[in-house]
Amino acid sequence: MKKMFLADFMLGRLARWLRVLGYDTIYSRKGIDSVLVVNAYREDRIILTRNTRLFKRIDPARALFIHYDGFRDQVREVIESLDLDYDTGLFLSRCLDCNLALVPLAREEVQTKVPPYIFQTIKEFRTCPQCGRIFWSGTHIEEMRKLIETFWVRKDIKNEDRKRRSDEGP
């Protein structure tokens, strides 16, 4: 089963990048209250927080305390701590703002909604069913993929080190 998350108000960029990776991630700009915690438990979400008081009040098996300030380190911490996998088919499959799954959009429907150059050069478009934002693969996508690869390269190196140490014994 794919992991789902609830990120507190201090983790907006982390939430956005988890969505880029295709993970269902609710982000609360107002902080996490008891209603959100109950809903997170009900929906089997992992709570991501930098709030030590909140973290102490919830089941540690259902939460991850984020130690780092920078989003790159935060993403790596989530990936490594929760042993996440990267499914390339889910890359950019969720709205970065609303968190809903994107749906395909016919090219004809976007002709008047995107710049002419984009319409002429891009073949596939997707949209968010809630906010109506339109998404396509622009030139920035390759840079995003390169950054994402660095998250898993580091995870793979750590896993290899752990395996080597366990094979060597005490």
Model confidence pLDDT, tens digit, residues 37-51: 888 899 999 999 999
Q: What is the pLDDT of residues 105-152, one digit of tens each?
A: 999 999 999 999 999 999 999 999 999 999 998 888 888 988 888 887
| Residue in the structure block whose two tokens are 């920035």 | 140
Instruction: Give CA–CA dist 168/92, Å, rounded.
Output: 40
Residues 100, 129 contacting (CB under 8 angstroms): yes
Closest residue by Cα to residue 47 from 94, 8, 14: 8
Bridge partners of residue 134, in order along the sequence = 127
